[in-house]
Amino acid sequence: MSFPQQLIDGYRAFLVSRLRHEQDRYRALSESGQSPQIMVIGCCDSRVSPEVVFDARPGELFVARNIANLVPPYTPDGAQRAVSAALEFAVQALKVKHIVVLGHAQCGGIRAFAEESAPLSPGDFIGHWMALIAPAAKAVGPRGERPLEQYLAELEQTSVVKTLDNLMTFPCVRILVERGKLALHAAYFGVATGQLSVWDSATGRFSAVAAEEHARMFGSPRF
C-alpha cells in the first residue's frame, strides 16, 4: 500500500505555505535545540490538535497526546510508561514553565467509559487505560436525571481537573509547583463551538477564554 496521497498533498501545501515562512525558524531551532515553555497533554482525537487550537509555531509546544488526555499517577515500577517519560523530559530536561491538560467535548474515550461501550472490552488496552477515569466518575456521581451530553461534559471537565491531581503525585512536578516554578492548568475545547475554557481554581469553574471575540465572530452558542 502506498504512502497516503492526502499526506503527500498536505506536505506540498506545507512546503509552499508554512515552511516558506518558518524556514529560518526551523534552521535556528535545529541549531539551538528546542526550548518550549509549555507542555500540553492532549487527547489523540483528530479534531483537537493543540498546535492548531493554540496556533503554535514550531518549537513552542511540547505535546504528549493519549486517549482522553490522561496522566496515570506516579508509579515507579520499571514499566515503560510513555506519559511519565514525556513528563519527566518536559519538566527536568526542558524545564517547561507550564503544563496544560487539554480536554475536549465529545471525547470518545470518556463516552465509552460512561456507557461501558465499545471500544472498551476486557483485556483491551483501552479498557484498562480508561479505568483512570474512575475517580472523576466518582466525583461527578451517577448520571441520574442529567441529559447524557451534560453528564459527559461534566465528566470530561472533571477528569481534566483530576488529572492535575495525578500530575502532582510526580515528585519532580510537585516540588517545582510548590516552589512557584511550574504551573498546572486545565483547559477544555468545545469541538462544536471552537470555544476554549480554562479552569479557575478560585471559582472552581471553567471560564471561557476570549469569549467576547468568539461571540463577536461566531455569535453566542445555541445552548
Please, are residues 99 and 41 in contact by the beta-carbon 8 Å criterion?
A: yes
Print the SS3 string covering 7-66: HHHHHHHHHHHHHHHHHHHHHHHHHHCCCCCEEEEEECCCCCCHHHHCCCCCCCEEEEEE
CB of 135 to Zn ion, least distance (A): 18
Closest CB to Zn ion among residues 111, 174 = 111
Between CA 215 and CA 184 the distance in angstroms is: 27
CB of 43 to Zn ion, least distance (A): 3
Closest CB to Zn ion among residues 90, 130 = 130
Where in 92-151 is the site for Zn ion (CB under 5 A)? Answer: 107
Please, are residues 69 and 102 in contact by the beta-carbon 8 Å criterion?
A: yes
Closest CB to Zn ion among residues 59, 193 = 193
- Site mask for Zn ion (CB under 5 A), range 145-184, x = bound: ----------------------------------------
CB of 52 to Zn ion, least distance (A): 15
CB of 196 to Zn ion, least distance (A): 15
Please, are residues 143 and 151 in contact by the beta-carbon 8 Å criterion?
A: yes
Question: Is residue 193 packed enough to be buried (19+ CB in 10 Å), middle (13-18) or exposed (0-12)?
Answer: middle
Closest CB to Zn ion among residues 43, 161 = 43
Site size toward Zn ion (CB under 5 A) is 3
Closest CB to Zn ion among residues 43, 136 = 43
Residues 6+ apart with CB under 8 A from 210: 196
Angle at 41 between CA 186 and CA 49, to 5 degrees: 100
CB of 104 to Zn ion, least distance (A): 6
Between CA 151 and CA 213 the distance in angstroms is: 28
Where in 12-51 is the site for Zn ion (CB under 5 A)? Answer: 43, 45
CB of 153 to Zn ion, least distance (A): 12
DSSP 3-state assignment of 169? Answer: coil
Where in 44-83 is the site for Zn ion (CB under 5 A)? Answer: 45
Closest CB to Zn ion among residues 45, 60 = 45
Which spans of this chain sit near Zn ion (rule: CB under 5 A)?
43, 45, 107
